[in-house]
Every structure is written in structure tokens, then in C-alpha cells.
Amino acid sequence: MRTLIKDLKENELANISGMVYKVRDTKYMVFIMLKDRSSFIQVSVDKQNEELTKKALGVTNGSIVSFKGKMVLSEYVKNGGKEFLPEDLEILSLADAYPLDENALPDTRLDYRWLDLRNEKKEWIIPIQSAFVQYLREYLYKNDFIEIHTPKLIGTASESGSSVFEVKYFDTKAYLAQSPQFYKQMAIASGYERVFEIAPAFRAENSNTNRHCTEFTSIDLEFAYIDSYEDVMHMEEEMLKYAMKKVKDEYGDLIKERFGIELVVPKKAFPVIKLQDLYQELKKRYNYEIPERDIGDLNAETEKLAYQFAMEEYNSEFLFIVGYNKAKRPFYHMRDENDNPLGYDLLYRGMEITSGAQREHRYEKLLHNAKEKGLGEDVKFYTEFFKYGCPPHGGFAIGLERMTLLMLGLDHIREAEFIFRGPNRLHP
């Protein structure tokens, strides 16, 4: 039976198995560093045992090995003073020499993603992401949300401007969902008051940036009986604070040590600023003027400066932005009496992580807004949801990879996705 390294007891015979990450041959001893999912340990082979030494010297980095022996405490050993003295070893899988080293180019790293993830920093990205998702779910279940699973193969081309992937579907065409937006609202119309989904979304955006993937994981939620989009902002803020605190409790020290960055759990309310006021602040403080084509929206430069502003003015890594132009927002966002959309974006460490809004649940108004955007028949299946009773509601979407990227201070989104998908990346 296998014992996990963390469960080893002093002087008790046990079998441990794991991956070798270093072999050191010295005059009297061979040291093998072994890692399993729980911890790591130095396995020390005495060269007086010739047979075992021969086997130990045949072990390479990355090999999967089982040892039978005892853990002992030794003052000479670093990392808690534990070492493992083996009686026997069995190589379960012998690894070839690695085809990449620390100087490997990003593309080579992606080709060998599973090896790149053995790196002592990168190995933590996915477990920390997993913990973040676990705590988000925990928060949402505690708050009466149910998890839904919406189709990713869809029959009509979609709700927003961003491009969709077309796929062959028997003798017709289908598309890959770029967001579960319509379906999560359909769930509200079904009578489920609080729903969420954490699932892939596909965007056929042929741009190579450090923040876009063609397939990413969207954390989507939608809930009913809200009074305003501010309720949506509040829900998001509370959810993020909850999950970030739990991630920090579990991984805060490790994040600091391996990624060299502090995970800061916000204590105060996230500051809110109107887009026009933000433009003015950026002009005043940094002499920055938004280019004409981006007016009514944010671009990467504005987001970066907005971060600087939020830190200087509020000491906050998060910043809510409201007061968008209806031309830049989808037709399903509710609008106020002046026809301004009741939605927001959330920036974290200088990057957009979320769009959210109160949705238009009134059928006639929705038809009007759709028509204004030149949409009619194409969104009919969606507008029908609001014909037979639908409560006021709102929601948002957070990109999981963006959040991971920012929490861990990574330099590119390809590192924040287990297996990256971009315009030039369909493998492995």
C-alpha cells in the first residue's frame, strides 16, 4: 500500500511513490528528491548497498519511482529534517532527458506543457486556480445559487459583436458558444432565481494579446429580484472577497514565495467611477487622452492608467467603472430613463475581468433595444424568454484565466490556462 509523504511516521516501514525531481550522486551517498501530491522528501541511498546504489543511479529526473523503507529524522537534512532510508526501489516509469530547459522559448514550453508544469513555480498555478474555483462555488452554494450547464454547441450565431467559431454539424452549421448569456437568462425565465455556470467560452478573435484566449473559462452568474445593477456589483464584490480570502489563507505564503507577489484581499468596498470622470482624471493626472475610436469604452492603456489612479486615489486594486455608452454595450443591458446602460466593468490590477449589468426583462423594451441595434429575427428565440413572465435580474461574467493571471502576477494568459488555446495554438 502507498503512504503519502506527508503521512510518513518515523521509523515505520512504508512504501512511497512519486516523481523524481533531482538526483545527486556524492562520494558515499546517492540522494533522490521525490515528490508526491502531498509533499516531498529526500531519499538517501547509502553506497554501501551496492545493488540499491546501482538502481538509484539509473533513476533520471521525471522518473516515477516507488521506495520501500523508513522515514527517519536527521539534523543534517533541510526541509523539516526528514529523510527516507530505502531498502528497495522500483522504477515504474523511466524518464528520458527533458527536451526543454529554463531557457526554452514560450512555444516550446507550450509544446511540452506537461513538462513545463513540473517547474516549481508553475506547478502551483492550476492547484491555486482550482482552489479559487472551489471557494467561488462554496460562496455561491451558500448563497442559494444552483449550478447549470448550458450548451456550447448552438444553432444561431450569437448575441454580441465578437466573432464566433463555426463548426460543421451533420449537414448544417453550428457555432461554439461565446458566452452562456442567453441561456443563463433563460434559466431565470424558467423560474430558477439564482444560477451560475463555470464553463468554456469560445471567441474567434484573431488577436495575440497577453489577455485573450480563443477558449477560456467563464464564471457566469445571473440572479433575480434585484433592485439595481448595484446589487450585481455588490454580489460580485462579496464573492471575490470571500474566495480571495480563502485562497490567501491556503496559499498566501506560497504565492509570495514562488510568484513574488502578495495576494491582497480587499477590505473596503471597491471604488466606483463613471467612465467620463475616469477620462478626466487620466487627462488631469497623466495627461492621457483616450483615442477617438475608443471613446465610450476602455482600452488596454486606459485600464493600466486606471489602475494607477485607483491605487493612488483609493489604495484599491479593484475599480468598478460605470456610465458606459449604449453604443458600446449589448442590447440586453437595461437602460435608465436617459437611455444610459445600467451596467459596469470591473478592473483588477489594470485589466478588465468582468462585465456585468442589470438585464432588460421587459419584453417591449427589449424588442426596442434589439431593433435599435439592427437585431430582429436573429435574437427572436431569446426575446421570447421574456414574453411569459420573467423577474428583474442581472448578472456578470468573470474570466477565470484573467483572474488567475492577475492574482499570481503572471505575464501571459497562456500560463493561466491548463492548456492554452490561441489563434496559433491548437495543440497539444
Catalytic residues: 203, 205, 211-212, 352, 355, 402
| Pattern 308-347, ligand ATP, x by CB under 6 A | ----------------------------------------
Q: Are residues 387 and 216 in contact, defined by beta-carbon separation less than 8 angstroms?
A: no
Nearer to ligand ATP, 19 or 397 (CB): 397
Alpha-carbon distances, residue 35 vs 82, 123, 276 (angstroms): 13, 12, 53
Closest separation between CB of residue 279 and ligand ATP, Å? 17
Q: Which of positions 114-153 make contact with ligand ATP (CB under 6 A)?
A: none
Q: Which of positions 255-274 make contact with ligand ATP (CB under 6 A)?
A: none
Nearer to ligand ATP, 55 or 211 (CB): 211
Residue type, 225: Y
Residue 260: count of CB within 10 angstroms of its CB: 10
Peptide bond into 428 cis (omega under 30): yes
352 in contact with ligand ATP (CB under 6 A): yes
User: CA 121 from chain center: how many Å?
Assistant: 16
Closest separation between CB of residue 127 and ligand ATP, Å? 20
Burial of 293: CB neighbours in 10 Å, binned 0-12, 13-18, 19+: exposed
- Per CB under 6 A, the segment of 66-74, 192-200, 273-281, 350-358 that binds ligand ATP is 350-358
Closest separation between CB of residue 3 and ligand ATP, Å? 41
Residue 301 and residue 386: Cα distance in Å, rounded? 38
Structural Rg of the chain based on CA atoms: 26
Nearer to ligand ATP, 23 or 405 (CB): 405
Q: Which of positions 52-111 make contact with ligand ATP (CB under 6 A)?
A: none
Nearer to ligand ATP, 11 or 207 (CB): 207
- Which of 51, 50, 44 minimizes the C-alpha distance to 30? 44
- Residue nearest to ligand ATP as judged by C-beta position: 399
Nearer to ligand ATP, 84 or 135 (CB): 135
Q: Which of positions 353-412 make contact with ligand ATP (CB under 6 A)?
A: 353-355, 397-399, 401-402
Residue 291 and residue 301: Cα distance in Å, rounded? 10
Applying CB under 6 A, the site for ligand ATP has a residue count of 16
Closest separation between CB of residue 202 and ligand ATP, Å? 9
Q: Which of positions 179-218 make contact with ligand ATP (CB under 6 A)?
A: 203, 205, 212-213, 216, 218
Closest separation between CB of residue 377 and ligand ATP, Å? 23
Nearer to ligand ATP, 222 or 401 (CB): 401
Q: Which of positions 216-255 make contact with ligand ATP (CB under 6 A)?
A: 216, 218
Closest separation between CB of residue 104 and ligand ATP, Å? 24
Nearer to ligand ATP, 302 or 369 (CB): 302
Closest separation between CB of residue 66 and ligand ATP, Å? 41
Q: How many CA atoms lie within 13 A of 391 on its CB side?
A: 17
Nearer to ligand ATP, 4 or 300 (CB): 300
State whether the Cα torsion 11-12-14-16 is positive or negative.
Answer: negative
- Site residues, ligand ATP (CB under 6 A): 162, 203, 205, 212-213, 216, 218, 352-355, 397-399, 401-402
